[in-house]
Amino acid sequence: MNVDKKRPDDKLKPGRPPVRAIYRALYRHWGPQHWWPGRTRLEVVVGAILTQNTAWTNVEKAMARLRREKALNLSVLHRVELNTLAEWIRPAGYYNVKARRLRAFTRMVDKEFDGRLERLWKLEDRVLRDTLLRVHGIGPETADSIMLYAAGRPFFVVDAYTRRFLGRHGWITDRATYDEVARWFTDVLPRDVPVYNEYHALIVRLGKTTCRRRPLCDRCPLKRWLPESGDGG
Ligand code: SF4
């Protein structure tokens, strides 16, 4: 399929994408991923910010340091010197930027919710997502990770792994927006937190195992949908 021949506004392949069949193929191949990126809701938020532009293994090192410093609570994260916070999260990379982003989040909770996270989680879906998106350094992917994994709301997370495999199969183009890619899944799937959770975790597994920078299509459960096979769904 030559995606370049498509109209500029035709960024998603028309027709019914094989969203459910892909899920079944991934699940059959790798099984449940038991993925929950954090022990508490706050840890999920911290992890979602720290994982920007870095591997999760580096995030784990930064989280371990925060745990040693007994800093995985909102009050410490909000009050500690910014330089100290940056030092604690150094293994996650871009540590000065990420320290400022963490501080922007804690400042928002402090200012708008009296420092009480539980008040933030009480917001209605769209209001909560918009509140997160207003925080400096929180974009749609980070916001939806927090929505899904910390707040338990049905928002599909689109990351680089998602775009990579969809693009390689010609199901999206580079021009597809974040929301358009998310809708590729949510238009078909039920609005269901465990399904969104498992699906995203399986896509991460796919991106780390077979659909890597150099794809290993021969051993990939999605091989049958490669464009060359003439079976796009
Ligand atoms: S078949 Fe190849 S391109 Fe498709 S998801 Fe697997 S590794 Fe990626």
Q: Does residue 138 have a pLDDT over 60?
A: yes
Owner of token pair 């911290």:
46
Burial of 135 (0-12, 13-18, 19+ CB in 10 A): buried
206 CA closest ligand 1 atom index: 5
Of 154 and 34, the structure prediction assigns the larger pLDDT to: 154
- Over the chain, what HEC string results? CCHHHCCCCCCECCCCCCHHHHHHHHHHHHCCCCCCCCCCHHHHHHHHHHCCCCCHHHHHHHHHHHHHCCCCCHHHHHHCCHHHHHHHCHHHCCHHHHHHHHHHHHHHHHHHCCCCHHHHHCCCHHHHHHHHHCCCCCCHHHHHHHHHHHCCCCCCCCCHHHHHHHHHCCCECCCCCHHHHHHHHHCCCCCCHHHHHHHHHHHHHHHHHCCCCCCCHHHCCCHHHCHHHCCCC
What is the pLDDT at residue 34? 84
In the chain, what percentage of residues exceed pLDDT 90? 86
Q: Does residue 11 have a pLDDT over 50?
A: no
Residues with CB under 6 A from ligand 1: 165, 168-169, 206, 210-211, 215-217, 220, 222-223, 226
Q: Does residue 227 have a pLDDT over 80?
A: yes
Residue 13 binned pLDDT confidence (cut-offs 50, 70, 90)? very low
pLDDT tens per residue, range 98-128: 999 999 999 999 999 999 999 999 999 999 9
Residue of 46, 53, 47, 54 whose CA lies nearest to 78: 46
What is the pLDDT at residue 233? 40
Residue 16 binned pLDDT confidence (cut-offs 50, 70, 90)? low
Ligand 1, pocket-test mutation among 169, 202, 204, 213, most atoms within 8 A of CB: 169
All structural domains of the chain, each given as residue ranges with its CATH number in brackets, are 3-34+156-229 (1.10.1670.10), 41-150 (1.10.340.30)
CA 36 – ligand 1 centroid, Å? 25
* Alpha-carbon span 104 to 6, nearest angstrom: 41
Q: Does residue 165 have a pLDDT over 90?
A: yes
Of 12 and 98, the structure prediction assigns the larger pLDDT to: 98
Of 134 and 14, the structure prediction assigns the larger pLDDT to: 134
**Lowest mean pLDDT across 17-21, 135-139, 157-161:** 17-21
Q: Which residues pair with 12 in a beta bridge?
A: 172
